[in-house]
Amino acid sequence: MTRYTGESRMLVAVDCIIFGFDGTDIKLLLIQRGLKPEKGKWSLMGGFLQENESLEQAANRVLKKLTGLEGVYMEQMKAYGEPLRDPVERVLSIAYFALIDIHQYEKQLSTEYHAEWVHIKKLPELIFDHKKMVENAKKQLRYKAALHPILFELLPAKFTIPQLQILYEGIYDTTFDNRNFSRKVLSTELLIKQKEKDKANSKKGAFYYKLDKRKYKANFQAFLNFIPNPDKLLL
Amino acid sequence: MTRYTGESRMLVAVDCIIFGFDGTDIKLLLIQRGLKPEKGKWSLMGGFLQENESLEQAANRVLKKLTGLEGVYMEQMKAYGEPLRDPVERVLSIAYFALIDIHQYEKQLSTEYHAEWVHIKKLPELIFDHKKMVENAKKQLRYKAALHPILFELLPAKFTIPQLQILYEGIYDTTFDNRNFSRKVLSTELLIKQKEKDKANSKKGAFYYKLDKRKYKANFQAFLNFIPNPDKLLL
DNA sequence: CACAAAAGCGTAATATTCACACTAACTACA
DNA sequence: TGTAGTTAGTGTGAATATTACGCTTTTGTG
């Protein structure tokens, strides 16, 4: 026996929802599709799963092809399998979402795919069911970020607490009390204070912090509560 | 253009991790595989995705074939895509997990698949990567149940609070203070007290409760806290 | 009619969360 | 050189939530 008989085989794709933060706005990395159909339309970055490749490998390959980056935070989100989601033929898509420090990426911007960072509030129309994927990804990001410290993945290695707060406020589309926010964040003891300050954004200057990677990994699964009244903010 | 060229197509399967609770123990519904290879070995219930079927439809079809049940709580868990996970040929599997009131099912037990409820602590060896799937499912169930009231799906329509507590204690493999537990559960106002008592399990008897379906649906996404110190219990 | 066993209420100590006043640090510009 | 203006970040207390544990209630059993 070498194969299962009487069953239908289909293409499997991997699509990446890539979030970035530029210090002010949360953005999504989109491309203009190079393949027919829908050539020229906006799309998530994706690719077909190859014969000898695992899903994680495929997602990383796709991400690297677009951004040049490796070792990026990425997690599997959901499989999309509506029979007609791709009009050409049956394609199952496994969506991954990735979080990137946007500045790291900008250095190696490749024009090959006509990629662009698009403000999360100003998304263009997307092909197939990509809009739904993006919506699910946003929801999942909000959900997860309310409980776990993943948003650090969107920031550079050194960042200030006000920067972090702006990021959280962007994700939840609200504002937080800065005094409570910094106290909460610091009480996790996940941050290591640096000697230098960032003076670009204020007169007083805010101290830089770095993530304590060891504690970050050790406590990743623990429930945090950076967000007041989280359940009201998750839609 | 009718198809994408130069890409490899593969089989897609759906596997179901089916949890049940019999009032004392948490169990998993397993089958003895009817297909070669590994015929006769223990396995999760699964099936291949058909040409015109969505993933949800496939998962529901598989579940119904085994249990006869429809409208069961089910959610997509994760896609498994290691190239060699099935030795016959490349098969991508999308795992779903389902929660069933075990008594509802037992009535319509079908012997066709040699299905059996197996105590979650006494699982046999499973084929392929099914063990990993089960572990992931257990983890996800613990995670989700710590925040959302999904465990009610494992209970009959009428249940007592001590029964509910036994269920939670089974899931988290620990014990809770019964006085605090019932107060927490009742404070959600998700339960409607019935007039009758269950006297099978105690002399005093415990009142039956029903879920308030409306509130249950409305508050499903809100974070609850049935579990003391949840983050310590999630592994 | 005691006794055992489980249901479930009460309460106080502790911890967490939140709102808001206030001080500190620093730049820019007069 | 000093003062006005701006943002960072600490302090504090009130409100809320969590937890530990004593105690009463109910009822079948012998």
pLDDT at A234 over 60: no
* Residue from the list A4, A50, A81 with its beta carbon closest to the beta carbon of B88: A4
What is the distance between the alpha carbons of residues B213 and B216, in angstroms, rounded to a whole number? 5
Asked if B55 and A81 come within 8 Å (Cβ–Cβ), the reply is: yes
Asked if A222 and B231 come within 8 Å (Cβ–Cβ), the reply is: yes
Asked if B81 and A12 come within 8 Å (Cβ–Cβ), the reply is: yes
Domain ranges (residues) in chain B: 11-135, 152-233
Mean pLDDT of chain B: 90
Residue B63, pLDDT score: 94
pLDDT at B230 over 80: no
pLDDT at A112 over 90: no
Residue A155, pLDDT score: 94
DSSP assignment string, A86-130: SSSS-EEEEEEEEEEEHHHHHTT--TTTT-EEEETTS----STTH
Q: Which of residues 103-132 of B touch strand D (CB under 7 A)?
A: none
pLDDT tens digits, one per residue of B149-199: 999 999 999 999 999 999 999 999 999 999 999 999 999 889 999 998 888
A29/D7 CA-to-C1' distance in Å:
32
pLDDT at A232 over 80: no
pLDDT at B107 over 70: no
Residue A170, pLDDT score: 93
What is the distance between the alpha carbons of residues B198 and B23, in angstroms, rounded to a whole number? 13
Interface test with B, best of A92, A220, A234, A235 (most B CBs within 10 A): A92
Mean pLDDT of chain A: 89
Q: How far is CA B202 from CA B58, B162, B163, in A?
A: 43, 10, 11
DSSP assignment string, A14-63: EEEEEEEE-SS-EEEEEEE--SSSSTTSEE-EEEEPPTT--HHHHHHHHH
The total of other beta-carbon atoms located within 10 Å of residue B34's CB is 11
pLDDT tens digits, one per residue of A209-220: 999 999 888 888
B233 falls in which pLDDT band (50, 70, 90)?
Answer: low
Residue B88, pLDDT score: 94
Q: Which residue is nearest to nucleotide C26 (CA to C1')?
A: A204
Angle at B129 between CA B128 and CA B131, to 5 degrees: 110
B218 falls in which pLDDT band (50, 70, 90)?
Answer: confident
Write down the CATH number for the domain with range A152-233. Answer: 1.10.10.10
* Residue from the list B53, B81, B89 with its beta carbon closest to the beta carbon of A55: B81
**Positions in chain D where some atom is under 7 Å from a protein CB:** 5-11, 17-22, 25-29
pLDDT at B55 over 70: yes
Interfacial B residues in 179-208 facing A (CB < 8 Å) = none
Distance in angstroms between the alpha carbons of the first and the last residue of chain B? 50
Range of weakest confidence among A33-47, A69-83, A117-131: A33-47
B48 — contact with chain A (CB < 8 Å)?
yes
To which residue do tokens 């009131």 refer?
Answer: B101
pLDDT tens digits, one per residue of A7-58: 999 999 999 999 999 999 999 999 987 666 777 799 999 999 999 999 999 9
Chain B CB contacts of A91 below 8 Å: 4
Superfamily of domain A11-135: Nucleoside Triphosphate Pyrophosphohydrolase (3.90.79.10)
Interfacial A residues in 66-95 facing B (CB < 8 Å) = 76, 78-83, 88-92, 94
Nucleotide nearest to B201 (CA to C1'): C6
Pairing mode of beta strands A11-21, A91-101? parallel
Q: How far is CA B186 from CA B161, B178, B189, B196, B224, in A?
A: 9, 12, 5, 17, 12
Residue A227, pLDDT score: 66
Asked if A51 and B90 come within 8 Å (Cβ–Cβ), the reply is: yes
pLDDT at B229 over 80: no
Name the residue in chain A with its Cα closest to that of B1: A88
Interface test with A, best of B1, B7, B132 (most A CBs within 10 A): B7
Angle at A178 between CA A175 and CA A183, to 5 degrees: 130
| % of chain B exceeding 90 in pLDDT | 70
- H or E segment and range at residue B187: helix B178-187
Residue A233, pLDDT score: 55
Q: Please tell me the pTM assigned to this model.
A: 0.92
* Residue from the list B35, B49, B231 with its beta carbon closest to the beta carbon of A81: B49
